[in-house]
Amino acid sequence: MTAQPGLPPTPEVRGINHQAVSEWLDASIDGVRGPYEFSFITGGHSNLTYLVTASNDIRLVLRRPPLGMVIATAHDMGREFKIISAINKTSVPVPKTLGHCHDDSVNQAPFYVMSYVEGVVLHDDEIASAALEEGLVRQQLSHNVIDVLANLHLADPDQIGLGDLGRKDAYLDRQLRRWQGQWNKTKTRELPAMDEAYRLLVEAKPAQRYTGVVHGDYRLGNLLIDPNNGAVQAVLDWELCTLGDVLADLGYLLNNWEPPGQGPIEGATAYPTSIGGFASRDEMIDRYVKQTGFEIHNINYYRAFQNWRLGAIIEGVLARYLQGVMGEDQADTDAYRDQVEALAEQALALLAGDSPRPLTS
């Protein structure tokens, strides 16, 4: 493709077939024109995310699977495209889906394109401290975060077109089986604490009481927020979304909602909420109950489950980094090993009724 006058050619970006993807964008996405600039967006640890800037200054976001071997469901671009398109029918804020390419000949793997949404992602305490003034905005953000989650869990999967996304029942059975299988396939060493946590989680598994759309990775690091008023502009990273026990999302969010005054675990950075000024975990639970009408029982089980599950996920990320299939992003693999070990210990502490150390990722 020949660059237009005055626009320099874009250097090649790993994971993007520049010419073929550019031609597909010209033919498939209304309102944009090439040449295009592609840049890798860091922060994601699974599917790869790119910023696409058209010559008319319109920005888009492109998502594709990691380079190399992938897990079929977690990296299914068509599935993720379908989920976000369906969530657009609810009050949960998400980017607008614009196009899906399932032809591997274009970019060696399927990909999809969605709108670019302005906002700040609060990946850690330093970003949160710089972005959010002390005072009301942190409380407003807390309320908005839990309200968006409640709205997601109240959505009827059948009415929004996700009734066939997967089984609705036996969520914990399926998740325990899936992530234990993932652990066995990708583990880089033996870790008895992960095995013991799995055994206890199977033994203590509660009955599923509330069923709906489960995001699977709901935390501040996957939200675009307006730092001026604490509004959630978009919920990102739906690759782990499924149907099932919605309290799993609440447990995961609470794990990521650390109070101030507690340091992070080995190999991790501090959570945004550690800077203080946010609603407490108990306040978040109370607001969720008020918004949904659900009764909350045994929330520590769900927190323990999510620690163990996240350990399996991070181990998979570690394995992919060691294989060199995570694009241009780099990582401290020793820190990932430390986090997996700490997550397993967190799970065991919660299952034993002890107070675990603070968790970050």
Residue 7 predicted with pLDDT over 60: no
Parts of the chain belonging to CATH 3.30.200.20: 18-115
Q: Which two tokens stand for residue 108?
A: 């060696």
pLDDT tier at 323, thresholds 50, 70, 90: confident
pLDDT tier at 329, thresholds 50, 70, 90: low
- Distance from C-alpha of 26 to C-alpha of 34, rounded to nearest angstrom: 7
Would you say 357 and 265 are in contact if contact means Cβ atoms under 8 Å apart?
A: yes
- CATH architecture assigned to 125-351: Alpha-Beta Complex (3.90)
pTM, full prediction: 0.87
pLDDT tier at 17, thresholds 50, 70, 90: very high
pLDDT tier at 302, thresholds 50, 70, 90: very high
pLDDT tens readout for residues 29-74: 999 999 999 999 864 456 899 999 999 999 999 999 888 645 444 5
Among candidate residues 189, 310, 187, 194, the one with its CA nearest the CA of residue 248: 310
Pairwise pLDDT comparison (319 vs 286), residue with the higher score: 286
What is the separation of C-alpha 292 from the centre of its chain, rounded to a whole number of angstroms?
A: 22
- Distance from C-alpha of 104 to C-alpha of 299, rounded to nearest angstrom: 43
- Distance from C-alpha of 183 to C-alpha of 190, rounded to nearest angstrom: 10
Q: Which pLDDT belongs to residue 334?
A: 87
pLDDT tier at 330, thresholds 50, 70, 90: low
**18-115 CATH, one of 3.30.70.3400, 3.30.200.20, 3.40.50.1820, 3.40.640.10:** 3.30.200.20
Parts of the chain belonging to CATH 3.90.1200.10: 125-351
Among candidate residues 303, 282, 319, the one with its CA nearest the CA of residue 204: 303
What is the separation of C-alpha 263 from the centre of its chain, rounded to a whole number of angstroms?
A: 23
Lookup result for tokens 């274009």: 106
Question: What does DSSP assign to residue 29?
Answer: S
pLDDT tier at 1, thresholds 50, 70, 90: very low
pLDDT tens readout for residues 220-258: 999 999 999 999 999 999 988 999 999 999 999 999 999
pLDDT tens readout for residues 336-356: 999 999 999 999 999 998 655
Q: Which pLDDT belongs to residue 6?
A: 37
